[in-house]
Amino acid sequence: MTKERSKSIETEQDVVIRIQHLKKSFGSNEVLKDINLDLHHGENLAILGRSGQGKSVTIKCIIGLMEQDGGTINVLGKEISELDDAALKEVQVKIGFLFQGGALFDSMTVGDNLAFPLSRVLKLKNKKEIDARVNEMLDSVGLKDAISKMPGELSGGMRKRIALARTLIMQPEVVLYDEPTTGLDPITAKEISELIVNMQHKYKSSSLIITHDITCARMTANRMLVMESGVFIAEGLGDELEKSDNQLVRSFFK
């Protein structure tokens, strides 16, 4: 079993995301019933849960891709529901979102994929600065030699690394990972999990990691939450949750 990370985040550290009584429904389907969480500065927080329990909906509400029906979402000191489009975009620039499929531009080289947010979002004009940041980030994920390749030439694990590099090149204060190891073989999934930890240490990022992969959660998380039917039913480290009185919680660790 993968050695678990220690619970090193102190509760008095600054909260970068605070969610209180979050609710979200689609018609009569109440997906999020009462979600409450704090993400602390420098912390990796994993949200575990089976498919369809509301994990991805939670992070889409956080980033403003979905509008909540109730409750509050405070990100970096801003109440998301109170922001106009311009103010929301200012917050979104500070949030990195690693989509489950990577969402790379197939018609662009790896280098152009990474340069795109620098020129289009951050409005950088200096090509030397852009090239330097692209090369530095590709080096960080171990794929500097892939700069001229097209996404279709890369393996699934390599595409995931490039997607992570494109997310982090914006130097976000918060990173949201949506099922970062889904569809990967165990060895590649382990490499991606290690990379998430390395990026946390190097860039001092705060992250929410949505996953049903317990190995990934054990490797990356300082703390775990277990979601079921739109609520959190347990919180702690793997060793603690493995001994839970709740059979459903224990089932993740078998």
Mean pLDDT of 178-187: 89
C-alpha 199/C-alpha 151 separation (Å) is 22
pLDDT at 221: 95
pLDDT at 1 over 50: no
Question: Phi and psi of 97, rounded to 5°?
Answer: -125, 110
Q: Mean pLDDT in the chain?
A: 89
Instruction: Tell me what pLDDT residue 98 has.
Output: 87
Q: Rounded to 10 degrees, what is the CA torsion of 199, 205, 211, 215? A: 50
Location of structure tokens 């099922």: 179
Strands (E), the chain: 15-26, 29-40, 44-48, 70-75, 78-79, 95-98, 174-178, 206-211, 223-228, 231-236
What mean pLDDT do residues 47-62 have? Answer: 91
Which residues face 17 on adjacent strands?
A: 39, 75
With pLDDT > 70 as the criterion, what percentage of the chain qualifies? Answer: 94
pTM here is 0.86
Q: Tell me the CA distances in angstroms from 220 to 2, 186, 210, 226, one per residue in order.
A: 11, 15, 11, 15
Average pLDDT over residues 7-27: 80
Predicted local distance difference test score (pLDDT) of residue 205: 87
For the domain spanning 15-94+172-251, the CATH number is 3.40.50.300
27-43 exposure pattern, b = at least 16 Cβ within 10 A, e = fewer: eeeebbeebebbbbebb
Task: Output the pLDDT for position 4.
Answer: 60
Tens of pLDDT, residues 95-152: 998 877 667 889 999 999 999 999 988 888 899 999 999 999 999 888 999 999 999 9
pLDDT of residue 6: 56
pLDDT score, position 99: 77
pLDDT above 50 for 12: no
Percentage of the residues of the chain whose pLDDT score is greater than 90: 61
* Rounded average pLDDT over 41-64: 92
Give the pLDDT confidence of 195-205 residue by residue, as tens digits. 899 888 888 88
Domain-wise residue ranges, the chain: 15-94+172-251, 104-170
Strand partners, 30: 25
- Contact (Cβ atoms closer than 8 angstroms) between residue 147 and residue 109: yes
What three-state secondary structure class fits 74?
Answer: strand
Alpha-carbon distance of 60 to 208, in angstroms, equals 12
